[in-house]
């Protein structure tokens, strides 16, 4: 087992000295999470897995279970959830989802782990779900920003997220922080908020309104906000093409499956793009992360150390976490983290034991 000492920044200096969160009223726990992730990223990265404790390969809803824990004895340091079930379905289904995810987040917080939330947001003005479907989907961004005909409906959806966020009280009586990562992979065209379906100005307006409404109008002070395109950029200028500004973003990230074995093994390119993200974060006092990656079915028995670690350890990057995608409960092939007996388990254990990677058992006082 690794023994990692988290530097308790708040205990050495005043929190305000180090806080660069975009919410000046962020909770102490949220500021501490930001500062501790910033410090840890100098030498380590948190391992994250989407939906890790909700379900896994061949199971659903078991208490305190994850496929990662079954393999190495620890949950991931960070658990990915999704706000996709918070709209576009019946009120009863929405309330069930909110209760389920509240328990998930609070349980993770009570154990000392971290939560990040993506948002596969079902199109609020047309059919088609969160994907863009030709002849079905409408370009919803222009409808839900201020002045759009569906703006009030969008505010109601955010009201639901805000109410949920302010209910996340742990056993210590404090609110669990959440890293909120809306409108991800916006540089592609597969989601209705993607670049082909809205102008730069519309996307930036949507981002700013979403953050401002949650933070300033609804007084949600336990969110950090993460900006994460896919891997279509080749320079800092291209990366920042739809960036809303430093005052609107706590974390910069990148999703990249294509260079990591899905389409090709191009480790040099993957590292170069991650370095653009990391360099920007260091320059601007932001957090950086590898916000999504993975190799479906993990047929490459050394992928964890020979691909993922090699990409992340290059060029002294500072990356607060890396998240691999979910393990479907029914599909025999749709999984991104190992489970007992999966062919990459031995290599994953090497990855787990590497001092660079942090799992939930390695975290201590990340909220102080």
pLDDT bracket for residue 7 (50, 70, 90): very low
pLDDT bracket for residue 193 (50, 70, 90): very high
Q: Which of the pair, 111 or 12, is modelled with greater confidence?
A: 111
* DSSP string over 6-29: ---HHHHS-HHHH---S-TT--HH
The alpha helices in 302-342, defined as continuous H runs, are 303, 310-313
Residues 143-178 have pLDDT tens digits of 999 999 999 999 999 999 999 999 999 999 999 999
pLDDT at 6 over 70: no
Catalytic residues, by residue number, are 185, 292
* Global confidence as pTM: 0.95
Residues 40-61 have pLDDT tens digits of 999 999 999 999 999 999 999 9
In the chain, where are the structural domains located?
38-362
Q: Are 132 and 195 in contact (CB under 8 A)?
A: no
Residues 260-298 have pLDDT tens digits of 999 999 999 999 999 999 999 999 999 999 999 999 999
Measured between alpha carbons, how far is 195 from 190 in angstroms, rounded to an integer?
9
Topology (CATH) of 38-362 = TIM Barrel (3.20.20)
pLDDT averaged over every residue in the chain: 95
pLDDT at 70 over 90: yes
Please tell me the predicted confidence (pLDDT) of residue 265: 98
Please state, for a pLDDT cut of 70, what percent of the chain lies above it: 95
- Among 166, 165, 158, 162, smallest CA distance to 124 is for 158
Measured between alpha carbons, how far is 352 from 356 in angstroms, rounded to an integer?
9
Please tell me the predicted confidence (pLDDT) of residue 2: 57
């Amino acid at each position: 087992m690794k023994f990692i000492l988290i530097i308790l920044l708040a205990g050495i200096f005043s929190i305000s000295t180090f806080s660069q969160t975009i919410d000046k009223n962020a909770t102490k726990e949220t500021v501490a999470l930001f500062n501790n992730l910033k410090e840890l990223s100098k030498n380590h990265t948190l391992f994250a897995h989407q939906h890790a404790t909700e379900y896994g390969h061949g199971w659903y809803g078991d208490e305190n279970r994850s496929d990662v824990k079954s393999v190495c004895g620890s949950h991931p340091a960070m658990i990915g959830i999704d706000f996709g079930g918070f709209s576009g379905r019946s009120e009863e289904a929405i309330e069930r989802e909110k209760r389920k995810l509240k328990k998930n987040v609070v349980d993770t917080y009570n154990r000392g782990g971290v939560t990040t939330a993506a948002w596969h947001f079902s199109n609020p003005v047309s059919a088609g779900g969160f994907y863009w479907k030709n002849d079905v989907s409408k370009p919803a961004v222009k409808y839900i920003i201020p002045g759009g005909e569906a703006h009030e409906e969008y505010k109601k959806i955010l009201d639901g997220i805000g109410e949920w966020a302010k209910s996340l009280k742990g056993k210590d009586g404090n609110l669990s922080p959440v890293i909120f990562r809306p409108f991800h992979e916006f540089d592609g065209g597969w989601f209705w908020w993607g670049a082909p379906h809205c102008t730069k100005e519309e996307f930036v307006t949507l981002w700013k309104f979403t953050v401002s409404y949650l933070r300033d109008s609804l007084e949600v002070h336990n969110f950090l906000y993460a900006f994460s395109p896919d891997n279509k950029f080749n320079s800092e200028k291209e990366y920042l093409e739809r960036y809303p500004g430093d005052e609107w973003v706590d974390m910069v990230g990148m999703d990249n499956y294509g260079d990591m074995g899905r389409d090709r093994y191009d480790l040099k390119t993957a590292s170069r793009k991650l370095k653009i993200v990391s360099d920007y974060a260091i320059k601007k006092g932001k957090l950086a992360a590898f916000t999504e990656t993975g190799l479906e079915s993990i047929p490459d028995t050394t992928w964890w150390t020979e691909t993922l670690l090699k990409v992340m350890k290059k060029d002294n990057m500072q990356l607060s976490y890396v998240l691999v995608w979910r393990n479907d409960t029914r599909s025999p092939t749709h999984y991104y983290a190992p489970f007992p007996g999966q062919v990459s388990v031995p290599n994953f254990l090497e990855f787990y034991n590497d001092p660079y990677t942090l799992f939930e058992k390695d975290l201590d006082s990340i909220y102080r």
